Structure 1
Amino acid sequence: MNRPHYILLPASSAFIFISLLLTFLLNFLPWGTMIGVPDFVALTLVFWSIHQPRKVGIGVAFAMGLLMDVHTASLLGENALAYTLLSYFAITIHRRVLWFTPMTQALHVFPLFLLTEIIRAVIQLCVNGKFPGWLFFVESAVTAALWPLATWILLAPQRRTVNRDDTRPI
Protein backbone atom coordinates (compact mmCIF):
# COMPACT_ATOMS: atom_id res chain seq x y z
CA MET A 1 0.00 0.00 0.00
CA ASN A 2 2.92 2.36 -0.61
CA ARG A 3 1.62 3.51 -3.96
CA PRO A 4 0.32 7.08 -4.06
CA HIS A 5 -3.40 7.70 -3.97
CA TYR A 6 -4.53 10.48 -6.23
CA ILE A 7 -7.51 12.68 -5.70
CA LEU A 8 -8.87 12.74 -9.21
CA LEU A 9 -10.40 15.74 -10.90
CA PRO A 10 -13.85 15.25 -12.40
CA ALA A 11 -13.88 13.68 -15.83
CA SER A 12 -14.69 16.12 -18.59
CA SER A 13 -17.61 15.15 -20.81
CA ALA A 14 -15.61 16.39 -23.80
CA PHE A 15 -12.70 14.10 -22.90
CA ILE A 16 -15.07 11.13 -22.53
CA PHE A 17 -16.58 11.89 -25.94
CA ILE A 18 -13.14 12.29 -27.57
CA SER A 19 -11.90 9.03 -26.04
CA LEU A 20 -14.95 7.15 -27.33
CA LEU A 21 -14.52 8.76 -30.76
CA LEU A 22 -10.82 7.88 -30.94
CA THR A 23 -11.41 4.27 -29.93
CA PHE A 24 -14.19 4.06 -32.49
CA LEU A 25 -11.71 5.28 -35.11
CA LEU A 26 -9.15 2.73 -33.86
CA ASN A 27 -11.68 0.02 -34.65
CA PHE A 28 -11.83 1.43 -38.20
CA LEU A 29 -8.20 0.47 -38.87
CA PRO A 30 -7.88 -2.32 -41.41
CA TRP A 31 -6.76 -5.13 -39.13
CA GLY A 32 -7.94 -7.68 -41.68
CA THR A 33 -8.26 -11.21 -40.40
CA MET A 34 -5.71 -10.82 -37.62
CA ILE A 35 -6.49 -12.90 -34.55
CA GLY A 36 -6.57 -11.21 -31.17
CA VAL A 37 -7.21 -7.62 -32.22
CA PRO A 38 -8.87 -6.00 -29.19
CA ASP A 39 -12.20 -4.26 -29.26
CA PHE A 40 -11.16 -0.75 -28.31
CA VAL A 41 -14.73 0.54 -28.10
CA ALA A 42 -15.69 -2.19 -25.63
CA LEU A 43 -12.59 -1.43 -23.56
CA THR A 44 -13.40 2.28 -23.40
CA LEU A 45 -17.09 1.66 -22.70
CA VAL A 46 -16.27 -0.61 -19.78
CA PHE A 47 -13.70 1.84 -18.45
CA TRP A 48 -16.10 4.79 -18.47
CA SER A 49 -19.01 2.66 -17.23
CA ILE A 50 -16.89 1.74 -14.22
CA HIS A 51 -15.32 5.14 -13.58
CA GLN A 52 -18.19 7.44 -14.66
CA PRO A 53 -21.43 5.40 -14.62
CA ARG A 54 -23.61 8.51 -14.56
CA LYS A 55 -22.06 9.94 -17.72
CA VAL A 56 -21.56 6.78 -19.78
CA GLY A 57 -24.25 4.19 -19.41
CA ILE A 58 -26.42 1.79 -21.30
CA GLY A 59 -27.71 4.39 -23.77
CA VAL A 60 -24.23 5.36 -24.89
CA ALA A 61 -23.30 1.68 -25.13
CA PHE A 62 -26.35 0.99 -27.30
CA ALA A 63 -25.54 3.90 -29.62
CA MET A 64 -21.90 2.82 -29.94
CA GLY A 65 -23.08 -0.74 -30.62
CA LEU A 66 -25.31 0.42 -33.44
CA LEU A 67 -22.43 2.42 -34.92
CA MET A 68 -20.19 -0.66 -34.72
CA ASP A 69 -22.91 -2.78 -36.33
CA VAL A 70 -23.02 -0.39 -39.26
CA HIS A 71 -19.22 -0.25 -39.46
CA THR A 72 -18.69 -4.02 -39.39
CA ALA A 73 -21.74 -4.71 -41.57
CA SER A 74 -22.87 -7.30 -39.05
CA LEU A 75 -26.40 -8.15 -38.07
CA LEU A 76 -28.04 -4.93 -36.87
CA GLY A 77 -28.20 -5.13 -33.09
CA GLU A 78 -25.47 -7.72 -32.56
CA ASN A 79 -22.89 -5.30 -31.16
CA ALA A 80 -25.62 -3.14 -29.65
CA LEU A 81 -26.86 -6.05 -27.55
CA ALA A 82 -23.34 -7.06 -26.58
CA TYR A 83 -22.27 -3.52 -25.63
CA THR A 84 -25.50 -2.88 -23.72
CA LEU A 85 -25.03 -5.98 -21.59
CA LEU A 86 -21.33 -5.16 -21.21
CA SER A 87 -22.16 -1.69 -19.91
CA TYR A 88 -24.90 -2.99 -17.63
CA PHE A 89 -22.63 -5.54 -15.95
CA ALA A 90 -19.77 -3.01 -15.73
CA ILE A 91 -22.06 -0.57 -13.93
CA THR A 92 -23.20 -3.40 -11.67
CA ILE A 93 -19.66 -4.16 -10.48
CA HIS A 94 -18.20 -0.64 -10.65
CA ARG A 95 -18.01 -0.03 -6.89
CA ARG A 96 -16.17 -3.27 -6.20
CA VAL A 97 -13.72 -3.02 -9.09
CA LEU A 98 -12.47 0.44 -8.12
CA TRP A 99 -10.97 -0.90 -4.88
CA PHE A 100 -8.37 -2.96 -6.74
CA THR A 101 -5.20 -2.20 -8.66
CA PRO A 102 -5.45 -2.00 -12.45
CA MET A 103 -3.93 -5.49 -12.83
CA THR A 104 -6.56 -7.00 -10.56
CA GLN A 105 -9.23 -4.92 -12.24
CA ALA A 106 -8.23 -6.58 -15.51
CA LEU A 107 -9.11 -9.94 -13.97
CA HIS A 108 -12.50 -8.58 -12.95
CA VAL A 109 -13.36 -7.17 -16.38
CA PHE A 110 -12.10 -10.19 -18.34
CA PRO A 111 -15.38 -12.13 -17.82
CA LEU A 112 -17.28 -9.11 -19.14
CA PHE A 113 -15.26 -9.07 -22.35
CA LEU A 114 -15.62 -12.85 -22.62
CA LEU A 115 -19.39 -12.51 -22.22
CA THR A 116 -19.41 -10.03 -25.09
CA GLU A 117 -17.61 -12.49 -27.33
CA ILE A 118 -19.92 -15.33 -26.28
CA ILE A 119 -22.98 -13.21 -27.16
CA ARG A 120 -21.52 -12.42 -30.58
CA ALA A 121 -20.65 -16.09 -31.16
CA VAL A 122 -24.15 -17.25 -30.19
CA ILE A 123 -25.76 -14.69 -32.50
CA GLN A 124 -23.50 -15.74 -35.37
CA LEU A 125 -24.23 -19.39 -34.61
CA CYS A 126 -27.98 -18.75 -34.68
CA VAL A 127 -27.89 -16.67 -37.87
CA ASN A 128 -25.18 -18.40 -39.93
CA GLY A 129 -25.16 -21.83 -38.33
CA LYS A 130 -21.35 -21.62 -38.07
CA PHE A 131 -19.25 -21.50 -34.94
CA PRO A 132 -16.52 -18.85 -35.35
CA GLY A 133 -13.88 -21.04 -33.70
CA TRP A 134 -12.13 -20.99 -30.35
CA LEU A 135 -9.57 -18.41 -31.45
CA PHE A 136 -12.47 -15.97 -31.67
CA PHE A 137 -12.32 -15.66 -27.86
CA VAL A 138 -8.67 -14.56 -27.79
CA GLU A 139 -9.88 -11.01 -28.42
CA SER A 140 -11.39 -10.81 -24.92
CA ALA A 141 -8.10 -11.84 -23.29
CA VAL A 142 -6.14 -9.27 -25.30
CA THR A 143 -8.70 -6.57 -24.47
CA ALA A 144 -8.48 -7.39 -20.75
CA ALA A 145 -4.67 -7.35 -20.96
CA LEU A 146 -4.86 -3.76 -22.26
CA TRP A 147 -6.89 -2.66 -19.20
CA PRO A 148 -3.92 -1.32 -17.14
CA LEU A 149 -2.67 0.71 -20.11
CA ALA A 150 -6.15 2.07 -20.78
CA THR A 151 -6.50 2.99 -17.11
CA TRP A 152 -3.21 4.85 -17.15
CA ILE A 153 -4.07 6.73 -20.36
CA LEU A 154 -7.70 7.58 -19.60
CA LEU A 155 -7.07 8.70 -16.01
CA ALA A 156 -4.05 10.87 -16.91
CA PRO A 157 -6.00 14.13 -17.44
CA GLN A 158 -7.76 13.67 -14.10
CA ARG A 159 -4.53 13.23 -12.11
CA ARG A 160 -3.17 16.70 -12.76
CA THR A 161 -3.57 19.25 -10.03
CA VAL A 162 -5.41 22.49 -10.58
CA ASN A 163 -2.71 24.55 -8.84
CA ARG A 164 0.69 22.92 -8.98
CA ASP A 165 2.49 23.18 -5.62
CA ASP A 166 5.63 21.20 -4.77
CA THR A 167 5.00 21.41 -1.03
CA ARG A 168 1.52 19.91 -1.20
CA PRO A 169 1.55 16.23 -0.13
CA ILE A 170 -1.42 15.20 -2.30
Structure 2
Amino acid sequence: MTTTSFKPVYLSLLLALILQILPWSGDLLMVRPEFLLVIVLYWTLRAPHLCNIGTAWFAGLLMDLISGGLFGQFALAYAITSYFAVTYQRRLALFNIWQQAGYVFLLLLFTQLTTLVLKLFAGGELPGWQYFLPSISGILLWQFVIFSRLRIDSRSNQA
Protein backbone atom coordinates (compact mmCIF):
# COMPACT_ATOMS: atom_id res chain seq x y z
CA MET A 1 0.00 0.00 0.00
CA THR A 2 1.37 3.36 -0.96
CA THR A 3 1.15 6.40 1.21
CA THR A 4 -0.63 9.40 -0.18
CA SER A 5 0.73 12.89 0.28
CA PHE A 6 -1.56 15.79 1.04
CA LYS A 7 -0.94 17.56 -2.29
CA PRO A 8 -3.11 15.38 -4.57
CA VAL A 9 -5.83 15.24 -1.93
CA TYR A 10 -6.21 18.97 -1.45
CA LEU A 11 -5.55 19.87 -5.08
CA SER A 12 -8.34 17.53 -6.17
CA LEU A 13 -10.63 19.02 -3.51
CA LEU A 14 -9.82 22.50 -4.81
CA LEU A 15 -10.53 21.38 -8.39
CA ALA A 16 -13.84 19.85 -7.27
CA LEU A 17 -14.76 23.11 -5.53
CA ILE A 18 -13.96 25.07 -8.69
CA LEU A 19 -16.11 22.68 -10.77
CA GLN A 20 -18.90 23.08 -8.22
CA ILE A 21 -18.96 26.88 -8.49
CA LEU A 22 -18.83 27.07 -12.28
CA PRO A 23 -21.92 28.80 -13.71
CA TRP A 24 -24.00 25.75 -14.64
CA SER A 25 -27.42 26.37 -16.19
CA GLY A 26 -30.40 24.57 -17.65
CA ASP A 27 -30.29 20.81 -17.91
CA LEU A 28 -26.61 20.73 -16.94
CA LEU A 29 -27.48 22.31 -13.61
CA MET A 30 -30.14 19.68 -13.03
CA VAL A 31 -27.72 16.76 -13.56
CA ARG A 32 -24.57 18.37 -12.13
CA PRO A 33 -23.00 15.94 -9.67
CA GLU A 34 -21.81 17.12 -6.30
CA PHE A 35 -18.17 17.17 -7.34
CA LEU A 36 -16.95 18.11 -3.90
CA LEU A 37 -18.84 15.29 -2.17
CA VAL A 38 -17.63 12.67 -4.64
CA ILE A 39 -14.00 13.70 -4.15
CA VAL A 40 -14.42 13.93 -0.36
CA LEU A 41 -15.83 10.39 -0.35
CA TYR A 42 -13.04 9.13 -2.58
CA TRP A 43 -10.31 10.49 -0.32
CA THR A 44 -12.17 9.53 2.85
CA LEU A 45 -12.16 5.93 1.67
CA ARG A 46 -8.67 6.00 0.13
CA ALA A 47 -6.75 8.18 2.64
CA PRO A 48 -8.79 8.66 5.83
CA HIS A 49 -5.74 10.07 7.61
CA LEU A 50 -5.77 13.06 5.21
CA CYS A 51 -9.47 13.48 4.45
CA ASN A 52 -11.86 12.68 7.27
CA ILE A 53 -15.17 13.72 8.80
CA GLY A 54 -13.76 17.14 9.68
CA THR A 55 -12.72 17.70 6.08
CA ALA A 56 -16.18 16.65 4.94
CA TRP A 57 -17.79 19.04 7.42
CA PHE A 58 -15.58 21.91 6.23
CA ALA A 59 -16.35 21.06 2.57
CA GLY A 60 -20.04 21.07 3.48
CA LEU A 61 -19.69 24.52 5.05
CA LEU A 62 -18.10 25.74 1.81
CA MET A 63 -21.05 24.27 -0.11
CA ASP A 64 -23.44 26.04 2.26
CA LEU A 65 -21.71 29.34 1.53
CA ILE A 66 -21.71 28.68 -2.21
CA SER A 67 -25.36 27.61 -2.40
CA GLY A 68 -26.69 30.43 -0.25
CA GLY A 69 -29.37 28.12 1.13
CA LEU A 70 -29.98 26.90 4.64
CA PHE A 71 -26.67 27.28 6.47
CA GLY A 72 -25.37 24.00 7.83
CA GLN A 73 -27.41 21.61 5.71
CA PHE A 74 -24.52 20.50 3.51
CA ALA A 75 -22.10 20.49 6.43
CA LEU A 76 -24.36 18.13 8.36
CA ALA A 77 -25.13 15.94 5.35
CA TYR A 78 -21.47 15.67 4.29
CA ALA A 79 -20.30 14.92 7.83
CA ILE A 80 -22.89 12.17 8.38
CA THR A 81 -22.21 10.68 4.96
CA SER A 82 -18.47 10.75 5.63
CA TYR A 83 -19.09 9.05 8.98
CA PHE A 84 -20.89 6.18 7.24
CA ALA A 85 -18.10 5.99 4.65
CA VAL A 86 -15.41 5.77 7.34
CA THR A 87 -17.41 3.28 9.40
CA TYR A 88 -17.48 0.75 6.58
CA GLN A 89 -14.16 1.72 5.00
CA ARG A 90 -12.29 -1.47 5.96
CA ARG A 91 -15.11 -3.73 4.79
CA LEU A 92 -15.39 -1.82 1.55
CA ALA A 93 -11.83 -2.82 0.67
CA LEU A 94 -13.11 -6.40 0.35
CA PHE A 95 -15.78 -5.41 -2.19
CA ASN A 96 -15.22 -5.34 -5.93
CA ILE A 97 -15.47 -2.09 -7.88
CA TRP A 98 -19.16 -2.48 -8.68
CA GLN A 99 -20.15 -3.28 -5.10
CA GLN A 100 -18.19 -0.24 -3.94
CA ALA A 101 -20.01 1.85 -6.55
CA GLY A 102 -23.35 0.61 -5.22
CA TYR A 103 -22.37 1.61 -1.70
CA VAL A 104 -21.18 5.04 -2.83
CA PHE A 105 -24.43 5.48 -4.77
CA LEU A 106 -26.34 4.81 -1.54
CA LEU A 107 -24.14 7.36 0.23
CA LEU A 108 -24.89 9.95 -2.45
CA LEU A 109 -28.62 9.25 -2.18
CA PHE A 110 -28.39 9.48 1.60
CA THR A 111 -26.76 12.90 1.32
CA GLN A 112 -29.51 14.12 -0.98
CA LEU A 113 -32.22 12.73 1.30
CA THR A 114 -30.62 14.43 4.30
CA THR A 115 -30.51 17.81 2.57
CA LEU A 116 -34.06 17.28 1.30
CA VAL A 117 -35.37 16.60 4.81
CA LEU A 118 -33.57 19.68 6.14
CA LYS A 119 -35.01 21.81 3.33
CA LEU A 120 -38.52 20.49 4.02
CA PHE A 121 -38.17 21.25 7.74
CA ALA A 122 -37.18 24.79 6.77
CA GLY A 123 -40.40 25.16 4.77
CA GLY A 124 -39.17 24.25 1.31
CA GLU A 125 -41.23 22.66 -1.44
CA LEU A 126 -41.11 18.94 -2.23
CA PRO A 127 -39.09 18.60 -5.46
CA GLY A 128 -39.77 16.15 -8.26
CA TRP A 129 -37.83 13.02 -9.16
CA GLN A 130 -35.24 15.14 -10.99
CA TYR A 131 -33.88 16.14 -7.59
CA PHE A 132 -32.08 12.77 -7.46
CA LEU A 133 -30.36 13.05 -10.87
CA PRO A 134 -27.13 14.37 -9.28
CA SER A 135 -26.75 11.02 -7.49
CA ILE A 136 -26.78 9.22 -10.83
CA SER A 137 -24.30 11.62 -12.42
CA GLY A 138 -22.27 11.47 -9.19
CA ILE A 139 -21.88 7.71 -9.42
CA LEU A 140 -20.84 8.07 -13.07
CA LEU A 141 -18.22 10.57 -11.92
CA TRP A 142 -17.19 8.12 -9.18
CA GLN A 143 -16.66 5.34 -11.73
CA PHE A 144 -14.65 7.71 -13.93
CA VAL A 145 -12.42 8.65 -10.98
CA ILE A 146 -11.97 5.01 -9.95
CA PHE A 147 -11.21 3.75 -13.46
CA SER A 148 -8.84 6.66 -14.08
CA ARG A 149 -7.06 5.85 -10.83
CA LEU A 150 -6.81 2.16 -11.76
CA ARG A 151 -5.37 3.11 -15.14
CA ILE A 152 -2.77 5.35 -13.48
CA ASP A 153 -1.89 2.66 -10.92
CA SER A 154 -1.50 0.00 -13.61
CA ARG A 155 0.80 2.27 -15.64
CA SER A 156 2.97 2.98 -12.61
CA ASN A 157 3.18 -0.75 -11.82
CA GLN A 158 4.35 -1.49 -15.37
CA ALA A 159 7.15 1.07 -15.19
Residue identity over aligned pairs, in percent, reads 34
In structure 1, which of residues 18, 25, 46 is the aligned counterpart of residue 18 of structure 2? 25
**What is the number of equivalent residue pairs in this alignment?**
156
Superposed CA offset, 1:49-96 (max 9, x none):
111112111110111111111111111101101110111011011112
Find the residue that maps to 2:38 and give its secondary structure: helix
Residue type at the aligned position of 2:15: L
In structure 2, which of residues 29, 34, 58 is the aligned counterpart of residue 63 of structure 1? 58
Superposed CA offset, 1:102-151 (max 9, x none):
22211111111001000111111111331122210121122122222112
In structure 2, which of residues 84, 87, 93 is the aligned counterpart of residue 92 of structure 1? 87
Determine the C-alpha separation between the residues in 1 that align with 2:6 and 2:150: 13
Q: How does 1:6-155 map to 2 (within 5 A)?
A: 8-34=1-27, 35-154=30-149
Deviation at 1:155, TM superposition (A): 5.9
Greater alpha carbon shift after TM alignment, 130-139 vs 114-123: 130-139
Q: TM-score scaled to structure 1, two decimals?
A: 0.83
Residue type at the aligned position of 2:130: L
Find the residue that maps to 1:76 and give its secondary structure: coil
Contact 1:58 1:84 in 2 (8 A): yes
Q: TM-score scaled to structure 2, two decimals?
A: 0.88
Contact 1:103 1:147 in 2 (8 A): no
Q: Greater Rg, structure 1 or structure 2?
A: 1
Instruction: Label 1:156 to 1:18 Cα distance change in 2 as closer, same or farther (>3 A).
Output: farther
Pairwise CA RMSD of aligned residues? 1.9
Question: Whose relative contact order is higher, 1 or 2, with alpha carbons under 8 Å and at least 6 apart?
Answer: 1
Determine the C-alpha separation between the residues in 1 that align with 2:80 and 2:151: 27
Instruction: Label 1:146 to 1:102 Cα distance change in 2 as closer, same or farther (>3 A).
Output: farther
Determine the C-alpha separation between the residues in 2 that align with 1:97 and 1:13: 22
Determine the C-alpha separation between the residues in 2 that align with 1:105 and 1:139: 18
Q: Where does structure 1 differ by over 6 angstroms across 4 or more consecutive aligned residues? A: none
Which of the two has greater helix per residue? 2
Instruction: Label 1:124 to 1:92 Cα distance change in 2 as closer, same or farther (>3 A).
Output: same
Determine the C-alpha separation between the residues in 2 that align with 1:87 and 1:133: 26
Contact 1:11 1:158 in 2 (8 A): no
